[in-house]
A and B are shown apart, each in its own frame.
Chain A
C-alpha cells in the first residue's frame, strides 16, 4: 500500500524537550508546600513485627510526621487484593514498607528514619516456589483465598499457591500415547529487574476539599485512580492522577506499585503534597521484580517430527504479594507452546507466594521465560530425531488453519512465521560456520517466537480528536509515553487517517485523569494496535461531522461528498467545495448564523471478542499475535569463558511498519535487554532473603561495548485489528535472545544449558566438567 505518512521516520515530538533537559519527569516536579518521605524497610524478609518505637525519630529536625502500618487495614490490587501499603503485623519481603518519615527535606526524612526502632520475630524464608510449595511450609498469607480476587482466579487456601491455572487441549497428557519420541527439561529464568534508568516515584496530596491529587512514574493512571478512590471511599472523579514524562518502564511501572504506599503516608499529613522517589536500591528491593519462572516442560513428537503433545508445569516464584504476578504466570502457561501447533496440551501454571519482592510485568510478560524452554527443547528434539532443526520447526509452525493451545484458529492475517524464519536463516546460517581457533569457540543459534498481548476483557484505549479553528489537530489519549515513541505513532496514524500532515497534529504531552480519555493501562505492546484503531475510529467520526456540516453548506447529501484533508467536496464536481478549517467550529454563514457541529470526536477500541478462559483454560485470550525469528552469532573466549555476541538478527511480521527508525530502535533495545538477562542479569538473594546485588555496579546492565551489531528486518503481512494492518512489537524482541544464544553455545561447545544467566564462571566450569568427562 502507498501511504502518505505511514512507513516514514518522523522525529519524535518529545525529542527536543528531552535533549534540552526540559522534559519533566516525576522527580522534577516541585509543588508548593511539598514534603518528602523516606520509607523504612525491614531487616528480615519474613517476620512478625513485635513493636515499633518512633519516639526518637519524631524529635529529629525537620520531621513533620512519622507513620507506621499499625492498624492499617487497607488491602489493594487489581487482580487479587492481597497487597498492603505498609506492613501491619507481619513483613513478607525485604523491601516491604514498615514505617515512614515525612520531613521538610529528603535528607532530614532519611536521617530520622535511622532512629526508628523495630523488634521482629523472624519466620522461615522462602525464595523459590518449590520451597514455599512444600507441605510443611509456613503460610506467607494465612488469608490466602479470603482476599477479593477476579472470578477467573483460583487461589488454593491453606497453601502458598496464590493461583492455579490449568489448560487442557485435545487429550491433554494422554496425547503422549501418540508420541514416538519425548524430550523434557527443567528450565529457569531467574529474577530480574526492569531497571529503567529513571527509578519509580510518586507524589500524593490529600487536599482539604476531600479530593486526592497524585503524580506517578506509572503507565496506569486510571488503575491508580480507581484503586485510591476505592481505598479512601471517594468517587473516582475526586481522585486526579497525573503522569509526567516517564524515564523507561519495561513493565515494572505498570499495575499499581508504589502509589498506595505514598498515598497511605500522605494521608497522615492532609494539605501537603508528599513526594517519594526510590533510590536505585529501593527500585530493586521495593518495586516489582521480573521473571522468577521455572518451566518444567515435556514435548512429544512423531518419528517424522510432527509435534503431538506438550506437558508443562510453570512454577512461578511470584513474590510476597501475587496481585501483579498472576497474569504473568497465566501468560507464561498458555504461551509456552511457542509458535507451534500441538494437538494435545496439558499446561499448569502455579503462582506461588515467596519471600521476595512481588513479581510483575517485565517486557515480554511470561513469553520469554516460557519460550526459552520451548526453543531449547526444539533444538534437543531435532538432535534426538536426527532432523534438521529448521525443518523440524517449519513443519510445526502455527499458520493459517492451525489451532494454538487456547483453541484459537490461526489465519493468514495473524502473520507469517515461516517467512520470518526463512529471512533470519538466510541472514545468519547461509554463510560458512566459523571453526574453533586458538582463542575462541564460535557458534550460531536460532529461536522462533510468538507473542500475544495478555490483556483483559475491558482493556480499551480512548481517543479524543479536536479540530482547531485553523484546521490543525489536537489529539488527546490516555496512552503512557515511556520512551517507545507512541506520540510519533499517534501523529502518523492520525495524519494518514485524516489526510493532514503530522506537523499540523499536536499530540498530548502528559496524562491527567481529569481530562485524558480512558485507557486501561499502556501494556502488552497494544498501543499501536488498539490505540491506532481508536484513532481511526475517531478520525472517521470527525470526517463525518465535517461532511454533515458541509452537506448543509453545499446543499447536498452526505454520501455525495468526499474529503481530502483540505476540502469537503462534491464527488461528481470537486469544484463545488468548502475548505475544512471553515467547518471546524460549525460553518459561519455570511449573515453570521452558524450551522453544524464543532469538529470534534471521541472513540475507543479494544481487542475484538477478547474473553475470559473457559473451563479448559482456553478461549480468546490472545486474539492478536506477532510472530518472529531471531538468531545469534557468538564467540566464546577460551581463556575467560566470556561470551561475545558478535551479531544478532531479528525479523518480525509486524503487519505494517509505521515508523522505521522507531521500530528499529525498539527491537535493538529489546534485544540488548534480553542479552543482559541471558549473560549478566540476575537479582541474587542470600538465604535470609536479602538482595545481595541491588545496585547497578553489581547488577550489570549491558553497556555500549557489549552491544552486538544487529540486523533488524520486518515482514509486512497486514493484520485485521491494528491501524493499516500494524501489529504489536514492543516486547517481542526480548523473547528469542536467551534460547538463540544458548542454542549457539551448544553449537559452539556441545553443552546444553537450562538456566540463565551464563556467566564466564558458569561457562568455564561447564567446559572443565565436560573435558573431565571426556578424559575419564
Chain B
C-alpha cells in the first residue's frame, strides 16, 4: 500500500509516495538522500537519528512517515544558512564535542529543539536533553561545554 504524503523539509515542500508505515529515517535517508541523519541502533536508544518536527526534537527511527503529513521537518542539513553555521553548529564544532561525529547530528538537532524554543533552558533541562543521546567518544563534558556556549550565542542573537 502506497500513499502520497507531503511535508516541508529544510524549507522545501516534498511529496513522497511511500508505504505510510515506513519510518521517517528511511524516507529521509533513502528517498530524499539526506544522509546527515544517522542510524546507530535498532530501537530508538542512541538518539543519533533525531530530527526536529514542528519545532520538537524527535527520533526519526520510530516515527512512521504518516505522522509527519503536513509537518515542518528540519534535519542537520537545514541549519546552516549557506556557509554561515547555526550557533549550535558553531559551538559544537569549537568545544571539542566532535570526535567521530556520528552522534553529532542527533545532538545538534536535540539542542536545536530545546534552545530555539527555550533559550533560557536550565542546566537540568539541557542535561535531560543530552541524556537521551549516546556518545562513545567524548565523555560528554565537551558536549555540555558546546551546549552552554550555544545557549549564550542564541541568547545574544535573540537580543539583537
Binding site for B on A (CB under 8 A): 9, 11-12, 14-25, 27-28, 30, 194-199, 245-250, 279-281, 482-485, 661-662, 664-673, 695-697, 701, 703-705, 707, 710
Residues of chain B at interface, number, CB under 8 A: 50
Residue in A11, A20, A668, A704 whose CB lies within 8 Å of B36: A20
Q: Is the interface of B mostly helix, strand, loop or mixed?
A: loop
Name the residue on A nearest B94 (C-beta).
A11
A669–B137 CB distance below 8 A: yes
B77 in contact (CB, < 8 A): yes
Chain A facing B: main interface SS: loop
**Binary flags per residue of B33-47, CB closer than 8 Å to A gives 1, else 0:** 111111111110110
**CA distance in complex: A710, B45 (Å):** 26
Query: Is residue B65 contacting chain A, with contact meaning CB distance below 8 A?
Result: no
**Given A16-B93, A19-B92, A696-B41: A248 and B139 interface contact (C-beta under 8 Å):** no
Knowing A483-B137, A672-B139, the reply to whether A23 touches B43 (Cβ < 8 A) is: no
Q: Decide yes or no: A665 and B101 within 8 Å by CB, A15-B93, A21-B77, A703-B131 being known contacts.
A: no
Stretch at the interface among B1-9, B52-60, B140-148, B151-159: B140-148
B75, B101, B104, B133: the one within 8 Å of A704 (CB): B133
Q: Which residue of A lies closest to B102 (CB)?
A: A247
Are B41 and A280 in contact, with the CB atoms below 8 A?
yes
Q: Which of A14, A18, A484, A704 is close to B140, meaning CB atoms less than 8 Å apart?
A: A704
Are A248 and B100 in contact (CB-based, < 8 A)? yes
In the complex, the answer to whether A707 meets B77 with C-beta atoms within 8 Å is no
In chain B, what residue has the closest Cβ to A670?
A: B139
**Given the complex, which residues of A lie within 8 Å of B138, measured CB to CB?**
665, 668-669
**Is A21's CB under 8 angstroms from B102's CB?**
no
- Candidates B38, B80, B92, B99; contact of A665 at CB < 8 Å: B99
Q: Give me 9 A-to-B residue pairs in the complex whose CB atoms sit less than 8 angstroms apart, sorted by A's number.
A: A19-B93, A20-B76, A197-B38, A247-B100, A250-B136, A483-B137, A695-B45, A696-B41, A704-B143
Interface residues of B (CB under 8 A from A): 29, 33-43, 45-46, 48, 75-77, 79-80, 85, 89, 92-94, 96, 98-105, 108, 127, 130-131, 133-144
User: CB distance A697 to B43 under 8 Å?
Assistant: yes
Residues of B within 8 A of A484 (CB): 99
Q: How far is the CA of A195 from the CA of B42 in the complex (A)?
A: 13
Q: Are B101 and A247 in contact (CB under 8 A)?
A: yes
**Which of B43, B75, B79, B98: most chain A Cβ within 10 A?**
B98
CA distance A11 to B146 in the complex (A): 13
Let me know if B94 and A710 touch, CB within 8 A: no
A199→B38 CA distance, assembly (Å): 11
Q: Are B98 and A281 in contact (CB under 8 A)?
A: no
B104 A18 Cβ-Cβ under 8 A: yes
Contact partners of A199 in chain B: CB under 8 A:
40
> How many angstroms between the C-alpha atoms of A28 and B139 in the bound complex?
26
In the bound complex, residues from chain A placing their C-beta under 8 Å from that of B76 are: 19-21
A708 to chain B: closest residue by CB: B139
How far, in whole Å, are A25 and B75 apart by their CA atoms in the complex? Answer: 17
Given known A-B contacts A18-B98, A197-B103, A696-B45, A248 and B131 have beta carbons under 8 A apart: no
Residues of A within 8 A of B143 (CB): 704
Contacts of B36 in A (CB 8 A): 20-22
